[in-house]
Structure 1
Amino acid sequence: MNPADPADPSTLPTPSALSTPSALSAPSNPSAPSTPSTPPTPSASCTPPVGSLHPELDAAALGSFAAALESGDPSGLPPARAAEVEAVRSVAVFSRGRVAGAGGVLLDAALWRRKGSGPRPVVVMPAPWTNLGWVAYAVRASAFATRGYDVLAYTPRGFGASAGRVDTAGPLDVADGSRALDHLLQRTAGPVTRIGFLGVSYGAGIGLLVAAHDPRVDAVAAFSTWGDLGEVLVENSTRRVGAVRALLAAASRARLSPETERVLEDVLAGRDIVGALRWAEERSPFGHVKEFNRRRLPVFLSHAWHETLFPPNQTLKLFDELTGPRRIVLSVGDHAGPGTAGLLGLPDRVWTDADRWFDHHLMGAPNGVADDGQVAGEVMWSGTVEHRPTRHALTRRIRRLHLTGGGQLAERPEAGWTAGVLCGVDTPTAVADEVVRSGYAEMAGRPKIYPAGDIDRAVAAVWVCAPAEDTLRLRGVPRLRVTYRAANPGSSFVAHLMDLAPDGSARLVTHAPYSDLGSAPDSLVGADIDLQATAYDVPRGHRLLLVMAGRDALYADANLPRASLAFTSPEATPSYLDLPLG
């Protein structure tokens, strides 16, 4: 372990404030594993670790803020942050220590308790998949406390200074969330009116699952969450090995449970996928939709269009099934990118929405959030945010373009053609140069530029439509129907839908993988694919480019080396692309 790593518990001093019992300290438990009770306080020279799922989080700034909360000395902070420390300490008591989770496992945590004996709502915040732990929420939890909430933020088991092993939102994590809520309720100075859970990434999934199991929870806010963990691991029968490697890399200093480690390694190796999906099902909020709907639990979701870790469609699947109050904010970027500025205390429209959601559903504030519609979608790359009453209102009509033998996307079908692809060769159309980090350039208005002219037609099949006469507003889920012949029993490809400019440069609009693992050799395979949802304006004069390649580093390759795929369009089942237009 790197001795300079701020998340290494062995390098952390024990503050004098924890040498005596505090309001947060759990009763002593001699059978519980020994663990440091202090959260990590990063040094000023700290940078996010390689493989971080949250590369833009400023660990040093957040650690300094947390230290100032405890010491009461904000003199080393920028003026705005110093004022926030003074504001929260004037109305709340901050303490940090441990919470006893399931089985007596001690969880690293921090507590903000409002002064006085008046009624107040409370919020519990499980931390993301990072050894930074609850410190990631130091600024946001303080803002909640200033607005009238009691708050408990904690580091899930196996990460940072929390004991135990990573259960990956399993039964132990769900029990820990309820224990954390118990702990908070026992220490509030006044009556608790309503209860919320809020989390980012891993903490979001845990929060949703706790809410499904614990009827005390009145509202949830989940940033960059998963809805169906099985689809995070395997999409259209294709193993998402890039995402799994990113999860393992980000947990390199955590303590994974043997089951978690085995499942993730099995997905990478292609072993016991049925067992992995069974493991994921228990950890998927989608499996608890009936409970959410029975209680009409208000659910707020935030996600990124080009998310490489938790693809958006599986979260939208959860959102579409909810029948209670619900809202989803979809933004440009990648995992946890939308919302990172807010974690650092900077202006952030996603956090503003989430704050209004909780203020309305937990405090009864008449702030109009219920009238904003269910969906707020940011359009790539304009920064325009469109509000719609429902998600399905994003799409007004479907335009069908057929794949033809001349490499055109045309209005009429054409049968009898073949387009061959040589497998096992990389192409310039790779979805992301690096999982998670690639999308951060998009948030800054710098999407990756693909050289369309460099695409070798021997290793990728390409179709292009006529130049758009007017702006083509794609809103929703594009759908692809294609038939192909594979000489071998296992086959896969990745479909990339791109915006092709007149100068030959292209930008990624959306994509999806597809694998067939059971067809007989040399048989025709019919693939019906939902590409990931998008909100993209194709400018006048630009063209849509559809590229299908046999390999992309984000996904497992089921093709044999040097195998070939032959795309075609039978007369009875023509190949086509359905475009959702707004």
Structure 2
Amino acid sequence: MTDVTGRNPAAFSLYPELDATTLTAFLTALESGDVTGLAPARAAEIADVRSVAVFGRVKVAGADGDLLDAALWRHTGVQPRPVIVMPSPWTHHGWLPYVVQASIFAARGYNVLAYSARGFAGSEGQVDVAGPLDVADGSRALDHLIERTAGSVTRIGFLGDSYGSGIGQLVAAHDTRVDAVVALSTWGDLGEAFYENRTRHVSAVEALLRAASKARLSPQTQSVFENVLANRDVQGTLRWAEQRSPYSHVKELNRRHVPVYFAQAWHETLFPNNQTLKMFNELTGPKRLDFSIGDHSGPEMTGMIGLPNRIWTTAHRWLDHHLKGIDNGITDEGQVLAEVMWGRALEPRPTWPSVTEDVRRLHLAGTGELTDAADAGWSASVLCGVDTPATVADAVVLSGYDEIAGRPKAYPTGDIDRSVAAVWAADPESETTRLRGIPRLRVTYRAANSKSTFVAYLLAVAPDGTGHLVTHAPYTDLDSPPDSLVRADIELQATAYDVPRGHRLMLVIDARDPFYGDANLPRATLAFTSPEPTPSYLDLPLG
């Protein structure tokens, strides 16, 4: 049996490239000092950290008396030092993915505590999904670290990947001792991540559930996830998610101007980027956002095992500056760094708004073209309940590794059945077109039923008809009367994409994608159109 991830659900991991065997070997050598069989670079890291710090496994007294499985890297002596707390990712390996990076931090002068979030690995309690218990656990972990280092602490940072990144932001919002945050592959608004444009992210929730197959979910967590999949109690889920969203607590972070570093992948399938961007744009303290090719946690994965990695290098520089006071130039590099698809150029920008320099508007025409002039009065029907070759990705998380390797999914645009999808194509580009920012789509359609869903995909298509995904977004309407015109104004996910000369942009809209839950009735139709008062168009951000 397989699911939308393309893998056996029982074996699914959000970290498919994580080499637990290698990390365990590193941990064993860290404890024993015997580096036999390790690569020279890993052996050198073991020697470096053991020469300056003591490593040991510990238990942290968390909230409600639950004991959390943890590891401590502690320097001897009374010299005051900065400290880092690392809540674990969403994995049954607990804190193990951090063992190499935590050792590198320790060798460079930090005291470090990494711990498994409640309900995962060797930690007691039940999974609270960054709820109040997890926030309290983070503060208790910091208490433990301060106590074990005799209170000789200068400044304090939280660093987390994925699940740990959300916990870290929330702890920083509520614990005034925290001075800086690193949040890799994170979320800002969990409700928007689960219900993007009111559309259920069923594949993301399925992936989270299957990746937590060995964890102990609280009854509330289990109920919320099941409600998303069954399309029940949406408002209850949104209330639950609001408390667990750093965006809901951004005022607390801004009050103290806590420095926050975000790193995201462009084609993130768990936590779509625009909701993290919303959080980023609200922060008023020092901040930085790095975008990379790939999917959830993929860009930073090689750094987990100590290989050279741009994201982890920046994380070290961020904490070195904000916790150690090192003038390493990171604050002069701008707030945004974007890795461009697919050439991999790195583009720094001073702010997110500066990423977009101009906007080009293309109208949806009845001829199936994207044109400069508005075209009214046409209709293009989409059949509901039928999938097309236009999809978000072949698999949650996994497809991102193909992108990192330079093998993005190829879309055979000629195979898209125009009776079940609406398609518009622009003229071939006369020169390279630099898409930078958030594309916006306005489209009007008539739905025979009171509830409807569609997914819009923006593709860059080569002369041979092969397309690559630039960006996409789903949309669901739940309020309009039957047989009424619905005007959808949506933001596609942010992008930095170079469309080569001779390639053309293509907009595809269909009513079914296995990544999302849809509100359509089977075999119903959505009739897209462009009324003269409110024409349908696509706004392209140019850089």
* Shorter-chain TM band: over 0.9
Shift of 1:97: 2.3
**Is 1:94 paired with 2:52?**
no
Q: Does 1:165 align with 2:126?
A: yes
Tell me the equivalent position of 1:311. Answer: 272
Alignment of 1:87-486 (within 5 A): 87-189=48-150, 191-486=152-447
On the 8 A contact 1:48/1:56 being kept in 2, the answer is no
For the aligned residues, what is the CA RMSD? 1.0
Q: Are 1:58 and 2:19 an aligned pair?
A: yes
Equivalent residue in structure 1 for 2:502, among 521, 534, 541: 541
CA contact 1:107–1:154 (8 Å) conserved in 2: yes
Once the 2 structures are TM-superposed, how far is the Cα of residue 338 of structure 1 from its aligned partner? 1.2
Question: SS where residue 95 of structure 2 aligns?
Answer: helix
Distance in 2, Cα, partners of 1:291 & 1:60? 40
Distance between the aligned counterparts of 1:209 and 1:401, measured in 2? 41
| Separation in structure 2 between the aligned mates of residue 459 and residue 241 of structure 1, nearest angstrom | 22
For the residues of structure 2 that align with 1:516 and 1:393, how far apart are their CA atoms?
A: 32
- For residue 36 of structure 2, the aligned residue among 58, 75, 90 is 75
Residue 530 of structure 2 corresponds to 569
AA in 1 matched with 2:15: H
In 2, Cα distance between equivalents of 1:152 and 1:49: 30
> Are the equivalent residues in 2 in contact too, given 1:48–1:58 (CA < 8 A)?
no
Segments ≥4 residues shifted beyond 4 Å: none
Look up the equivalent residue of 2:75 and give its one-letter code: R
CA distance in 1, matches of 2:41, 2:202: 42
- Over the matched positions of the two proteins, sequence identity in percent amounts to 68
Q: Kindly tell me the number of residue pairs found equivalent between the two proteins.
A: 536
Q: Give the match for residue 467 of structure 2.
A: 506
**Deviation per CA, 1:245-271, whole angstroms, max 9, x where unpaired?**
000010011000000000010010000
| Aligned residue type for 1:430 | T
Query: How much has 1:190 moved relative to structure 2?
Result: 6.3
SS of match in other structure, 1:291: helix
The question of 1:550 aligning with 2:543 is answered no
1:48–1:59 contact (8 Å) kept in structure 2 = no
Q: What does the per-residue CA deviation read over 1:356-384, in whole Å, with 9 as the maximum and x for residues that have no partner?
A: 00000000001000101000000011111
Give the structure-1-normalised TM-score: 0.91
| Change over 3 Å in CA distance of 1:189–1:78 after alignment to 2 | farther
Does residue 487 in structure 1 map to residue 448 in structure 2? yes
Equivalent position of 2:4 in the other structure: none
Q: CA deviation digits over 1:206-226, x for unaligned, max 9? A: 000000000000000000000
> Relative to 1, partners in 2 of residues 1:48 and 1:513: Cα closer, same or farther, differing over 3 Å?
closer
**Cα deviation digits, residues 508-548 of structure 1 (max 9, x gap):** 00000001111111000000000000000000000000000
- Could you give the per-residue CA deviations for residues 384-434 of structure 1, whole angstroms, max 9, x where no partner exists? 110000011110000000000000000000100000011111100111111
CA contact (8 A) 1:218 1:297 kept: yes
SS at match of 1:338: helix
List runs of 5+ in structure 2 lacking aligned partners: 1-7
- Which amino acid is 1:141 matched to? A
3-state SS of 1:242 partner: helix
The worse-fitting range, judged by mean Cα deviation, of 118-127 and 62-71 is 62-71
Q: Name stretches of at least 5 consecutive residues in structure 1 with no aligned partner.
A: 1-46
Shift of 1:76: 2.4
Q: How many angstroms apart in 1 are the aligned matches of 2:527 and 2:64? A: 56
Letter in 1 for 2:106: A
